Amino acid sequence: MNRPDRDLPFPDALRPDATPAPHPLLAPVIGYLGTWRGTGSGGYPTLEAGFTYAQEVTFSHDGRPFLAYEARAWLLDADGNPLRASARETGWWRMLPEGRTEALITQPTGIAEILSGHALDGTVDLATEQVSLAPTAKQVDATRRRYVLTDPDTLEFVHDLAAVGLPLQHHLSARLRREDAGQGIQLP
């Protein structure tokens, strides 16, 4: 993903008032632009115990009706210190008329998701259309992701998962706060 601090001829914008101007179809998700950081918790029946994690999510655009999406996570110990890198994914949200949204999200673990849904009133709700797996990837059958702007500087995230033969159920949730778009990425 292009970072605004790099000397690029056409950097991605992390704010609605930055150049390039956002495409009109980005209107339902314009509040998502920027970098968000916070903590969350997760679990799944196949895991021995629940866990806490730090997460950073960045949404940017290049003037077309797409949001570039990048998410990184780190497992945390009981004192809130990072133990190790955890999930990482990147992708695109394709914005269509009337808030319809399609997302393409890939993970380095060999999982590629195609999701669709809607963006309305600060909420984006996406559900799996298709999952493609690399030959050695863990079996994932479906996901549902919900992003809610509870205020201009707070983004809540919930991720449901159907994997390894289990039905769709809660997997992750986090509360993220908007970071200053001029700051670099720092490990939690």
CA distance 25 to 98: 8
Quickly count: other Cβ atoms within 10 Å of residue 11's Cβ.
17
- Per-residue pLDDT at 48: 93
Could you tell me which residues are beta bridge partners of residue 70?
Answer: 58, 90
Pick from 28, 105, 94, 102: nearest CA to 66: 94
pTM of the model: 0.88
Q: Three-class SS of residue 184? A: coil
**DSSP annotation string for 97-113:** GGGEEEEEEEETTTEEE
H/E element, 165: none
Per residue in 57-88, pLDDT (tens digit) is: 999 999 999 999 999 999 999 999 999 999 99
**Summary mean pLDDT of the chain:** 91
Provide the token pair at 117.
Answer: 């849904």
Q: What is the mean pLDDT of residues 96-112?
A: 98
- DSSP, residue by residue, 7-21: --SSPPBSSTTSSSP
For range 108-113, the mean pLDDT: 98
* Ranges 11-20, 57-66, 135-144: which has the least confidence: 11-20
According to the model, what pLDDT value does residue 185 have?
35
Residue pair 36/178 in contact (Cβ under 8 Å)? The answer is yes
pLDDT at residue 3 in the model:
52
The whole-angstrom separation of Cα 185 and Cα 31 is: 20
* Mean pLDDT lowest among 69-73, 97-101, 181-185: 181-185
